Structure 1
């Protein structure tokens, strides 16, 4: 989960970059924080997709097989 502190620091650096510019250390920190944010975002998004179940209008499950297999591997599906 993405922490408020992480987002807060990213926003602080963005604001400072626009107003007065960043030092080299701050640029490195910003790059690292952005990478950490993206990693956490992708992990959360992947988890949401892996928990996804799709149904058509008739109520038949049409979840993609690749997602079903991931769910089976994680013990989330019995079929």
Structure 2
């Protein structure tokens, strides 16, 4: 299954963003349980973060990202890319 990455930048104040972090973490746990091998984190040296996950198609990846609580609640702007693994 292809890998996809959502690279995001926060666009709301920290208290608003932090309000949706628990729901985002639960959402990522659900993706893991469904076999998407999701990983989520943030950049140590700057604002923003990344969600790495597997999906069957770019359309499925878009649907997955659209359900992320950080996206649904307007907390981030993001780019979605297919990531092609070269070395495993």
TM-score by length of structure 1 reads 0.27
The structure whose Rg is larger is 1
Larger strand proportion of the pair: 2
Larger helix proportion of the pair: 1
